[in-house]
Amino acid sequence: MKKRDAISALRARRLFLRRIGGAALAAGTPAVVQKAAAESFPTPGYDWTKRRWAFGVDATKCIGCLRCVEACKVENEVPLTAHHFRTWVERYVYLEGENRPRIDSHADPVNIAASGSEREYRFANRYQDAKVEKAFFVPKLCNQCEHPPCVQVCPVGATYKAKDGVVLIDHKYCIGCRYCVQACPYGARYFDEEKGVSDKCTWCYHRITRGLQPACVEACPVGARVFGDRNDRQSPISLFIRNNRVHVLKPETGNAPNVFYVGLDKEVN
Amino acid sequence: MEPFIHYAPYTGWVYPNETVIEWSVAIVVYPYITGLVAGAFTVSSLYQVFGFERLKPVAHLALLTSLCFMLFVPLPLLLHLGHPERAFNNLLTPHWTSAMAMFGYFASFYIVLLLLETWFAFRPHIVGEAQKRKGLSGAFYRALTLGSYDVSEPALRHDRKWIFWLAIAGIPGAHGLHGYVGFVFGSLKSREWWSSDLMPLVFLFSAIISGVALLIVLYVVSSKLRKTPIDLACIKGLAYTVWAFIMVAFLLEGLEFANIVYKAREGIEMILAYVTGPLLIPYFVLQFGVGSILPLLLLSYMIWRGTTGRALIVGVTLSACLVLLSVFMMRWNVVIGGQELSKTGRGLLSYPLQVFGKEGLISALWLVVAPLIVLLGVTRLFPPWEHKTAP
């Protein structure tokens, strides 16, 4: 009996505190802001328990045009530098007589010099005089891991895994310690110095929850990027995973990524 | 004016987002001063709990040193945070799977414990000054008595009991605080250089030697400044303590490196290129050679030869200075070294150390010097040279 009394007292206290909090919020915040906050995120009507998003990359199709990178930068207001990316493309080039590939990305100083600006991306034709044995591109992005180490290490729970599988960041709660940046083995996270918070790819969460494709998928001219709902057996991603022998990056970490690759080479990590 | 962000130049292949080295020299200083706290507290506990009478002359100095450095431990973290005003989220809504979430609790618990133990240790002094002084300083001491003026033998016995139990609670507290710092790095699987089960122990033992070494230096310098004779037995006791712990620390650090090399997992070529290249001097020469092996040999020689007098003081102080350098280099090589080795295992970055700015060299120096300045002030208010509470 005593225990029940204590519990109900606790409940009453919590309710009271919640009411006070609500009243304080109502008093201090204009109605417009409250309405916007209630409706902006997550997308109204979107049920994250119904979806299981996944991403596919067919590296054999990528031509390194970097439209995906540009689309992502614009869509997600990623700082326009050569050091902050939600998605990027890597180039692997095997030259004749060499055992290891030469690897670079569009962020490499040589490639930035070729484009003439940190805001525009292209791969410089740096191997035109060499004998290339094998070469390919590999797009990279956040793997939205099943067991995300970034979520594990966040000291305040500002980054979390949504029910639909996407790892999100609450920018209003992030303290900017950058432990998540350190914990990600894929280098998928960066720190936004102006906002003072960590950031990374969310598969364009604001788009996919409205039934749209991520910006990079939409911008890709060759269909190297595939996105969809694994709960739907006929979705592009379900077909991609079912019809191909797929691979994930750094499987030994136990993170269980949700970006599935086709056409990887042993040197890609 | 310096640019807002500093990018790290690199060789080989690194992920594009890695070109900003996120954990700066401030994060080097953080485990360094946390280690000094834990080490100084160890000295205090060796006397208070384990009855090492030789360490009596530095027992109260150790306590004050620990307290003064502890007050500054959160500062490098606050300087580092993108949103320092949200730092309390760490305490209010901790995310239990995060090693870092424990920091606020460990630190708060430990500060309270240190304040309590210091209060008990200095209570007779506080009461004496409260009764003697007038005016503002008198009011300060009277407030600190918390209304308790009883310094009779039974009351002091009661105080000693509190000090004893607080010191006992402080041992896991101090060492937990520092072992946790090692865990923050060692538990990450993203970097081969950090990912080690030995990391918490490596941090812990290096912390102990750094704290003891700091006390040696502080004791010798303060005795010189106060023109009081240096207790040779105490210096010898501290030297033995450093000597014993440095061997364990050295062994653990060596084992950790041997493990990385022997297991030779992916990226080992880059690690070897790194330690024999850019890290040769900071790691092998400064951390191991000059900072660990040299003081170990010097102390061993002095213990073997039974060196005493001025030679002992000079030798032990020199060893202590080298140990302080070694432990700083160890922190540097872990924090900065880990980030200079790319996660790709195929590239090396170079940390662009800044002079100015909140995470620059000057800030870092201040973070190490400021606790010493505070300690100077605190020793004026609570002279650790008298031991009225000691039996």
Q: What is the 3-state secondary structure (H, E, C) of B39-71?
A: HHHHHHHHHHCCCCHHHHHHHHHHHHHHHHHHH
User: pLDDT averaged over chain B?
Assistant: 93
ipTM score above 0.85: yes
Which residue range forms the structural domain that includes residue B307?
Answer: 10-381
Interface check for A107 against chain B (CB to CB < 8 A): the answer is yes
- Determine the pLDDT at residue A14: 46
Please answer yes or no on whether B343 and A178 come within 8 Å at the CB atom. Answer: no
- Determine the pLDDT at residue B26: 96
- Determine the pLDDT at residue A41: 62
**pLDDT per residue as tens, chain A (269 positions):** 444 444 444 454 444 445 544 444 444 444 444 444 444 466 888 999 999 999 999 999 999 999 999 999 999 999 999 999 999 999 999 999 999 999 999 999 999 999 999 999 999 999 999 999 999 999 999 999 999 999 999 999 999 999 999 999 999 999 999 999 999 999 999 999 999 999 999 999 999 999 999 999 999 999 999 999 999 999 999 999 999 999 999 999 999 999 999 999 999 99
B334 CA to chain A: closest CA distance, Å?
13
Within a domain: residue B389? no
Instruction: Name residues 311-370 of chain B within 8 A of A (Cβ).
Output: 339, 343-346
B284 CA to chain A: closest CA distance, Å?
25
Within a domain: residue B2? no
Interface check for A251 against chain B (CB to CB < 8 A): the answer is no
A81 CA to chain B: closest CA distance, Å?
10
- Distance separating alpha carbons of residues A110 and A132, to the nearest angstrom: 18
Please answer yes or no on whether A155 and B190 come within 8 Å at the CB atom. Answer: no
Please answer yes or no on whether B189 and A189 come within 8 Å at the CB atom. Answer: no
Alpha-helical segments (H) within B189-291: 199-226, 232-263, 268-275
- Determine the pLDDT at residue B5: 66
Residue pair B40/B65 in contact (Cβ under 8 Å)? The answer is yes
Please answer yes or no on whether B5 and A173 come within 8 Å at the CB atom. Answer: no
Query: How many structural domains comprise chain B?
Result: 1
B110 CA to chain A: closest CA distance, Å?
19
pLDDT digit string, tens, across residues B165-183? 999 999 888 888 888 899 9
Q: For residue B13, what is the enclosing H or E element? A: strand B10-13
- Determine the pLDDT at residue A30: 45
Within a domain: residue B387? no
Each domain of chain A, given as residue ranges in start order, spans: 150-199
Interface check for A22 against chain B (CB to CB < 8 A): the answer is no
Residues in chain B closer than 8 A to A82 (CB atoms)? 16, 19
- Determine the pLDDT at residue A148: 98
Please answer yes or no on whether B17 and A183 come within 8 Å at the CB atom. Answer: no
Residues in chain B closer than 8 A to A169 (CB atoms)? none
Residues of chain B short of pLDDT 50, as ranges, are: 1-3, 387-391
Within a domain: residue B112? yes
Tell me which CATH code domain A150-199 carries: 3.30.70.20
Residues in chain A: 269
Write the CATH number for B321: 1.20.1630.10
B385 CA to chain A: closest CA distance, Å?
40
Whether omega before A42 lies within 30 degrees of 0, making that bond cis, reads: yes
